[in-house]
Structure 1
Amino acid sequence: MQTTAPLSHLRVLDLSRVLAGPWATQFLADMGAYVIKVEKPGEGDDTRGWGPPYLVEPEADNPGLSAYYLACNRGKRSIEIDMATPEGQALIRRLAAECDVVVENYKVGGLAKYGLDYDDLKQVNPRLIWCSITGFGQTGPYAKRAGYDFLIQAMSGLMSITGKPAGEPGAEPMKVGVAISDQICGLYGLSAILTALIQRDRTGQGERIDMALLDTQIATLANQASNYLVSGQPPGRMGNAHPNVVPYQVFKTADGHMILAIGNDGQFARFCAVAGAGHLAADPLYRTNSGRIVNRAALIPLLAEIIAGRGTAEWVALLENHAVPCGPINDLAQVFADPQVQARGLRRTLSSAAAPAIPQVGNPVKFASGPTTSDRAPPALGADTATVLREVLGMADPEIAALLRHRQRPAQE
């Protein structure tokens, strides 16, 4: 795959850790890029220690392989470099000179003290695409603040529209169940990197990309942000209901719960016909989506009573036959057992010297021309140090051996 994949001509220097940066660089690796993950000697990416669960348990001289780390580091090559030392800084400069892209998520100014920020490295490689990912960006009054996904979900307004409505038992602002702000920023960063590479093909010049978790999370509030900007009214929490479409929410069934996701008036009419409630579709109060939004409080209890009369599987089978969007609410065991998920190849198993079977979620992008998930397992810490120095920098084995022999532990920041 590595010689024929779409990005097999690119080298990426990955100075990022945790999730947002590694999420972007994993995609680049899946597409064939030669991704060099620079890690602290003896410690590595913070997420190596974010367990249990661990696939490989940590030991005194090995941080192991946590499930979290495995989620976002497939396809990369791990190299241990202590950037707090002059020798480590020199190595990173040499690597940057041979790479197309650098991705980093240090605090603003964090790399400048090592002589490794964009202004320094563009001197050795003017064609470099540099993507910086921080909580609040390189400018503005919050630029020097640390930014974490949970904090960004709160500050961006996402938590103000997530959770049970005010006044209900247990109501409070709620975060999303995954670090969605990190992932979104990583995906926007990836799009920016690919755009800058296309621009470089035309101009020959590199680019500095400034990505902020806060910016990208606000940008993806989509209709909710637009609802506020148009109406001037901040939307509130609605639980599993939708602010602009009705009925579009969770309903209790005779044996569990289901999602009813009706997106237009035709679907509502078909649902009512199947449910024996044609009078609701004919009622002027409910015939249109606008009417259903205005009269939501009266309509939803009527639908809830009808839906409670049958089990989830029965409803799903019945409604799918009439092109009414609906479905069960799966846990992750049910997700990976689902025949559709299996048919799409979303569960993969890779192997490496560190572990014979490493479970992975496959890249969701499908190309007709070939695979889009790297067959290179997430690397053990420093597993590729010698190989990268040999392949990318042309170092001889005695020089590599001397470097590894004198490698120091990183200074604590």
Structure 2
Amino acid sequence: MNWLFAHDNRFLKADDGQVYSEVAFSYSNWERYLAHVDNLTILARMEKLGGLDKNTINLSSGPCVTFQKVEDPYGIRTLTPFPIGYKTVLEAVKKTDGVIARLPSEIGYMALKAARKTNTPYCIEVVGDGYQTMATYGNWKGKLYAPIAERKMKRNIASSHHTLYITENHLQERYPPVGYSVSCSNVEIPNIEEKTVSQRQVKIKSDRKRLHIGMNGSLSSPYKGFESTFLALAKIKSELPPFEFRILGRGPKERWQALAKELDLEKNVVFCGTLPNKEVCTWLDDIDIFLMPSKTEGQGRALIEALSRGCSCLGSNVGGIPELLEPEQLHESGDVATFANQIKELATNIEKQLLYAERGIERVKPFQSEILQNTRQEFFHRFKEAIEMRN
């Protein structure tokens, strides 16, 4: 049996044919599907690897996985019945036994359209809010397209017999399921060892020379909230102990370097580039306070990873973030004053850091790989059974 996975992620192809991804999508991600099928085809955007260091990104290719390039689907033709890349998607869907569409994504929408046209079974993974993703994109085109994206997403989910959500409640309320559905995060964190809490407690109580504040997200994403963090840190810089603001993520950093210089934070900001998934935990172990002031967020994969390592976390009250943090750890998206005060208080409050560390680790224990794998495998087992019953 062959399945097809459709999403807008941008993969990078090296001269030797190996395929990489800067964000998630290491080969282990595909194993959740390969446990049920012989081959998996990935429909996505593709670019050349160029001069990126392979050791800093995730190897995505491997046995039984094939990548097929789809032209960048964004543009005016997105609004037409036949967007760019649809013919490529249609031909690929004709050759598969089942479609997995990760939404929101234009390639995902095209794959679902092709699946209905060819009567091919499909399931949907809901990983974000179609409206908010476009509304916070950063320009008028995104805001204009947002209501259309919302309708497309609602329409597609309303016809799905198998739907997987990464949130417990938030995305289900925004885009209600009709058929069989489950809540199962797409995060991949290792099993949390007992010593994680004690090691974090020792770190919090130690006499630190410098406070490490961290964020993890694409530098080119307008909705990650980097600007809020820069403004908040500038507002309270004189009231904080010596600190570094460490940023892990891909994308051009020139804009943020300029802002840091403008706000007199140039000596405080460290751009850490990208790291393979397996090295992110090590990076997080050196972070004291982790921030997620997003304008929109599906669930907050990076936040779950930070909580699992005992980081003291603060975030905005959007998307699935309130499912992970207590109200006192949240601020209204864009409320820099409240956000700054939260950082200032947490930076010097050892008792609160200890509380947040213990509470955070306990909160994300259900997201451990072994636990999620059971839910995920049951979902795809039922999807496979539905396909087999049709044949």
Please tell me the TM-score bracket, short chain as reference. Answer: 0.3 to 0.5
Q: As a proportion of its length, which structure holds more strand? A: 2
Q: Higher relative CO (CA 8 A, sep ≥ 6), structure 1 or 2?
A: 1
Q: As a proportion of its length, which structure holds more helix? A: 2
Q: TM-score, normalised on structure 1?
A: 0.34
- Give 1 or 2 for the bigger CA radius of gyration: 1
